[in-house]
Amino acid sequence: MGTPRGTPCLSNSACPLRTITGEEGAEGTSDAIVFTPDELIVIDLKYGRGVYVSAAENEQGMLYALGALELIALLGDEPSRVRIVIHQPRVSEEPSEWTCSIELLRQFGEHVAVQAKKCFDSAPHLSPGEKQCRFCKAKAGCPALAKHVLSTVADDFVDLTVVPKITTSRTYDNETLANLRGIVDLVEDWCKAIRTGVEKELRDGHEVPGYKLVEGRKGPRSWTDETEVGAAMKTMGLTQGQMYTYNLISPTSAEKLFQDNPRKWKKLQSFITQNNGKPHVAPISDPRPVITALDDFSIIED
């Protein structure tokens, strides 16, 4: 991808999206925005390797482009086309590119505005699914997703009467959240059972429509015979320090060594440090003391 010398470029640019989605303060940050008299180029870096992202009709890139048009509106005439470029170096060496007209981009913006209004007006318009929910940050408070999961997974085990109460809004209260938390273990067990069941069928040679067995990521490399390799390295002139690494034993191992000599072990205890445990959600009946609200309580691990 090339651009003329002296072409205006904005890096890590926050593109305003409020006028498109209707959400106060909504914006998206593109890694780079390049604009010429004829073309607006929106560039985004994806560093993940799990899911390939194509630039073709990429809705995120198109939203960035709509926001970028607002940024450059005061700089002069509007370009005639938009180019979306996605770099995903851990998946492909070549960037993915897609070009569309400004007219097509505007039509997309009008469609987004209509759909966004539906989502804000009423939760029944939400359509949960693997693709659209994968990176959504509102999953924990989405009543449409909760109803979808419960009706699929826990139909015969859980009282679903709490769900219809919350389908007219985008979020629900903590009492409902607590109720849903109570069946998380069931949902996770069901998910694990489904994954295991599909894998077993495929391993047994039975077809499961839409799925197949493939080789996973290779494990770490290791020597077949360390003694033999060590001898070979010596003949190559490597020193002991180059061939071997040495680590001090852990406090746990040291405690075992000094279990018959508590006096010596006590001298070492002043050198020990230990991080506090991370906040952990537990039933109210758990004997451990409660932790008050934390400013950085952003990650909960069960």
Q: pLDDT digit string (tens) for 109-142?
A: 999 988 888 777 655 567 777 777 777 777 777 7
pLDDT score at 193? 80
Residue 227 pLDDT more than 90?
A: yes
Residue 242 pLDDT more than 80?
A: yes
Q: Which has the minimum average pLDDT: 79-93, 164-178, 264-278?
A: 164-178
Mean pLDDT of 143-153: 75
Q: Which residues pair with 82 in a beta bridge?
A: 40, 100
**Of residues 66, 63, 58, 51, the one with CA closest to residue 99:** 58
CA–CA gap between residue 217 and residue 210 (Å, rounded): 21
What average pLDDT does the chain have? 81
Residue 158 pLDDT more than 70?
A: no
Mean pLDDT of 216-228: 89
**Of residues 83, 110, 111, the one with CA closest to residue 97:** 83
Q: Are 115 and 109 spatial neighbours (Cβ–Cβ below 8 Å)?
A: no
Q: pLDDT digit string (tens) for 8-21?
A: 666 666 778 888 88
Mean pLDDT of 77-104: 91
Give the 3-state secondary structure of 70-132. Answer: HHCHHHCCCCCEEEEEEECCCCCCCCEEEEEEHHHHHHHHHHHHHHHHHHHHCHHHCCCCHHH
Q: Are 254 and 265 spatial neighbours (Cβ–Cβ below 8 Å)?
A: yes
pLDDT score at 297? 43
Say what the pTM is: 0.48
Split at pLDDT 50, 70, 90, the class of 27 is: confident
